[in-house]
A and B are shown apart, each in its own frame.
Chain A
Amino acid sequence: MRLSPPSLSVAALAAALAPALGATLSLAGTVALAPAPLMADQMTEDAALFEIPLTTSDVPERWRLDHGPLPAKAQITLLYEDGSAFSGVQFFGQRGAIPPGRHQIIAEPPTQPIRGSIRVRAFIWTPTTGLRPATPGEITLLEPLPAR
């Protein structure tokens, strides 16, 4: 039987992430604003949350992401605070633990209007943990890059 093409729907993703999001949101509290680029280790309460001030209502398409050491077979998922997809990093060809790296990534447009800043949550997926919030030192930089 042919399966109907699924989509990366907010509802499906939110359902999949419900435990992780619940835990994360309860820990988030208030987060101090900081100018972009925002270093994760500058965040005082939540290493998985990035808040980036924007000067326009548009979310820049291209971003730079730096990460620290990650577990073997890890993947990075970035979500807007409403649970919709922001971006992510899929690794290929890496054996064992993943060393620190730098990536140019492309952001999906937000599903909610942007006012002044965006809040992006970083998650790490591994086969053993499933999806979990990033911990200190895992995502170290998220900054917008100029349009080209």
Chain B
Amino acid sequence: MPDISRRHLLSTAAALGVAASLPSPMLANTQARFVRKNAFSPDAIPDLESYRRAVEAMLNLPPDHPHNWYRYAMIHMSDCPHGNWWFFAWHRPFIGYFEQIIREYSGDSNFALPYWDWSAEPKIPPQFFVTPSDPDNPLDPTSGHYYETQADFAADFEQIVKALYASYTPAQKAQLTLRGYPDADSYWASYNNGALEDGILANIATNRALNRWNTADYKIDYQNPDLVDLTAQQTPWGRPVPAKTNVEPSKIRTGIKAPDFAMPASGASQSVYFNSPISANHHMFTGSAEIEGFPHNTTHNFLGNAMQSLMSPVDPIFFLHHCNVDRLWDVWEQRQRNLGLSTQPLTGDQQAFYSEEFLFYIDVAGQPVTGHTTARDAMEITPFDYSYTPGTGSELIGAPLSRVVAANFTAVEEAAPIAAGSVSLAKGALNPTLTEELALTANSLTNEGLPNAEAARDYLATVTFIPPASAGSLVYELYVAPGNSEAVPGNADTVLGGTFEFFGMRGAKHSHHADPLHITYNITDAVQALNGQGLLEKDTELSFAMVTQSNEVGGLEAAAEATQMRDGQLLGVSVASI
């Protein structure tokens, strides 16, 4: 046995980025009552018809009604996070409560909000346009259902909005102050040198014809519904908008293939993240990750005055747009779970993320939502009981790791001490067959040498085991070898895949009957090292050995644990590539 020092193990673990995966309390809702469908699917036609009825009904409600169409858009204006790590979480209840309200006003108790999969169909669905035969379509914000001018809107809403501000709770006013609206006047409208600059009124188009792009050079209508890459000449503001490019499926897949939750707002970081950067509150801007920054922002900016503003929910297409954004978050969450990766912020960030309060939601009864207002609450799909039909990116979800590979654990045996001061307590050989995807990629790597940007993948091995009695005092090493030989630490064809240690469990005792734990190791470097030695070919199997050592170098405790480790049980290894 080689002399493997604890220092070596720990430094290797840090370099390889070992990840621990614990069971998530937010499991996928696989039997949801409501299924959100692709808006271009024939199955979605009844939902779109119900949507139209409900939107018209909400447009016809008086301005002092909480469900008035413009009033619901004001929730977004008042509280929506953009450019920070609460972006996805805040919008989930916003469209979830909206969906319930649409059921009420449409009379369709089975209504589920369709999603606009712009990557598959980069054009506005035809139901959202006025046409010569349908000139009064309420799903088109240029129709007569919408306020023709800002003055018309102000006549109906100025006093309503200022009274609304006065009715807000101190906590709500504190949020609005953080957002830059410390009083009713600034909330309604603020001016700079006489020019309307901010507030609700500033987010209403000066003319409803401009709610969708309508210039001499470019106009969006039923004859021209496509998301395209506008040239500088075609936009009145003189710069290109790469709308089609930014919703391409490849962009979506890149955004989804980010293994961590939210990026630090500054400083060095080596990973990539699904959520936009961490911020101190949800009214701050700190940047964007791919899904928010590319398809989300670009689609907003492409469509016109309504969608470009914080009153963007005035355009009924908003909710289908954000339904797709929420779907992509759901895809990411399912993918993460199947890979054994976390869907949550890092432990040290969780309190800050979960405790943020969203205080402006309105429920189906027209009442402010109470008791379910934290970001932790907002992450849950369960209260809204929906799922999605597959769309762009769904192919990345994959299967749960337990189905990817059948792990055949063959032996657990006691091993001799491998170094002074540390004890090898148990090891076993596991021979899962490489998935087809992994095998093909391995073959590609072998044939083509160093991976190029497209071929480069991360390989994740998730080890399932019942921890031994003194789980917290052990280092868990995972060794990898080609499947035609046994993984034996120290052998030339055996590579250390990674190491794992618990934190905060020192002295903790686990019983035999504890639930299995899943520890995910990033074995990318090990796979590439074996490939570099020419040891991986198509249909190659991998062998694994898990070896535990005491992290008490030379301590008496190590000897005691040597007998207790046999109480632990290794159950299997699954491999996936991302």
Contact with B along A111-148 (1 / 0, CB 8 A): 00000000000000101001100000000000001111
B239 contacts A6, C-beta separation under 8 Å: no
- Measured CB to CB, the nearest residue on chain B to A16 is B232
Residues of B within 8 A of A (CB): 80, 82-83, 180, 198, 218-219, 223-224, 226, 228-234, 237-242, 244-246, 251, 254-255, 257-259, 263, 265-266, 270, 272-273, 277, 284-290, 293-294, 296-298, 300-301, 308, 310, 450, 452-454, 456-458, 578
Say which residue of A3, A58, A127 sits within 8 Å of B452 (CB atoms): A58
Q: Taking the complex as formed, is A60 at the interface, i.e. its CB lies under 8 A from any CB of chain B? A: yes
- Measured CB to CB, the nearest residue on chain A to B198 is A95
Contacts A13-B231, A92-B300, A104-B289; A131 near B251 (Cβ below 8 A): no
Residues of A within 8 A of B (CB): 2-3, 5-9, 12-13, 16-17, 56, 58-62, 66, 75, 77, 85, 88-96, 98-99, 101-106, 108, 125, 127, 130-131, 145-148
In the bound complex, CA of A131 to CA of B454 (Å): 33
Contacts A77-B239, A94-B82, A148-B272; A60 near B288 (Cβ below 8 A): no
B231 contacts A101, C-beta separation under 8 Å: no
- Residue with the greatest number of chain A CB neighbours at <10 A, chosen from B254, B286, B293, B452: B293
A9 contacts B453, C-beta separation under 8 Å: no
- Measured CB to CB, the nearest residue on chain A to B278 is A102
- Measured CB to CB, the nearest residue on chain B to A85 is B242
Min CB distance A12 to B, Å, is 4
A92 contacts B297, C-beta separation under 8 Å: yes
A2 contacts B254, C-beta separation under 8 Å: no
Contacts A58-B453, A147-B456; A101 near B286 (Cβ below 8 A): yes
Please name all residues of chain B whose beta carbon is closer than 8 Å to the beta carbon of A17 when the two chains form the complex: 232
Contacts A6-B229, A58-B452, A102-B263; A92 near B82 (Cβ below 8 A): yes
Contacts A56-B452, A93-B82, A102-B277; A8 near B297 (Cβ below 8 A): no
Say which residue of A75, A102, A147 sits within 8 Å of B265 (CB atoms): A102
Min CB distance B498 to A, Å, is 17
Secondary structure type dominating chain A contacts: loop
Supply 11 A–B pairs (Cβ within 8 Å), ascending by A: A5-B228, A62-B272, A89-B293, A94-B82, A98-B285, A99-B284, A103-B293, A125-B238, A125-B239, A145-B272, A148-B272
Min CB distance B417 to A, Å, is 38
B231 contacts A12, C-beta separation under 8 Å: yes
- Measured CB to CB, the nearest residue on chain A to B219 is A3
Min CB distance A93 to B, Å, is 3
Contacts A9-B231, A12-B231, A90-B301; A95 near B180 (Cβ below 8 A): yes
A102 contacts B297, C-beta separation under 8 Å: no
A101 contacts B285, C-beta separation under 8 Å: yes
B240 contacts A8, C-beta separation under 8 Å: yes
- Measured CB to CB, the nearest residue on chain B to A104 is B289
- Measured CB to CB, the nearest residue on chain B to A13 is B240
In the bound complex, CA of A125 to CA of B9 (Å): 50
A91 contacts B294, C-beta separation under 8 Å: no
Min CB distance A51 to B, Å, is 19
Please name all residues of chain B whose beta carbon is closer than 8 Å to the beta carbon of A95 when the two chains form the complex: 180, 198, 310
- Measured CB to CB, the nearest residue on chain A to B239 is A125
- Measured CB to CB, the nearest residue on chain A to B223 is A2
Known: A89-B288, A148-B458. 15 other contacts (CB 8 A): A5-B228, A6-B229, A6-B230, A9-B231, A59-B453, A77-B239, A90-B293, A92-B301, A101-B83, A101-B265, A101-B287, A102-B263, A102-B265, A103-B293, A106-B254
Min CB distance B270 to A, Å, is 7
In the bound complex, CA of A16 to CA of B232 (Å): 6
In the bound complex, CA of A58 to CA of B448 (Å): 14
- Measured CB to CB, the nearest residue on chain A to B270 is A146
Contacts A99-B285, A102-B287; A16 near B223 (Cβ below 8 A): no
- Residue with the greatest number of chain A CB neighbours at <10 A, chosen from B223, B242, B251, B290: B242
B265 contacts A5, C-beta separation under 8 Å: no
B297 contacts A91, C-beta separation under 8 Å: yes
A91 contacts B259, C-beta separation under 8 Å: no
Say which residue of B239, B240, B290, B458 sits within 8 Å of A105 (CB atoms): B290
- Measured CB to CB, the nearest residue on chain B to A1 is B223
Contacts A95-B180, A131-B238, A146-B270; A104 near B288 (Cβ below 8 A): yes
Min CB distance A143 to B, Å, is 10
B245 contacts A5, C-beta separation under 8 Å: no
Please name all residues of chain A whose beta carbon is closer than 8 Å to the beta carbon of B80 when the two chains form the complex: 93
In the bound complex, CA of A85 to CA of B287 (Å): 21
Min CB distance B396 to A, Å, is 11
A2 contacts B293, C-beta separation under 8 Å: no
Please name all residues of chain A whose beta carbon is closer than 8 Å to the beta carbon of B251 when the two chains form the complex: 106
Please name all residues of chain B whose beta carbon is closer than 8 Å to the beta carbon of A99 when the two chains form the complex: 284-286
Min CB distance B369 to A, Å, is 22
Please name all residues of chain B whose beta carbon is closer than 8 Å to the beta carbon of A85 when the two chains form the complex: 242, 245
Contacts A104-B272, A131-B238; A16 near B233 (Cβ below 8 A): yes
B266 contacts A16, C-beta separation under 8 Å: no
Say which residue of A7, A66, A77, A102 sits within 8 Å of B228 (CB atoms): A7
- Residue with the greatest number of chain A CB neighbours at <10 A, chosen from B82, B232, B255: B232
Min CB distance A41 to B, Å, is 15
A147 contacts B453, C-beta separation under 8 Å: yes
In the bound complex, CA of A141 to CA of B73 (Å): 36
- Measured CB to CB, the nearest residue on chain B to A147 is B456
Contacts A7-B229, A90-B297; A104 near B240 (Cβ below 8 A): no
- Residue with the greatest number of chain A CB neighbours at <10 A, chosen from B255, B263, B288: B288
Min CB distance A147 to B, Å, is 4
- Measured CB to CB, the nearest residue on chain B to A90 is B297
A104 contacts B234, C-beta separation under 8 Å: no
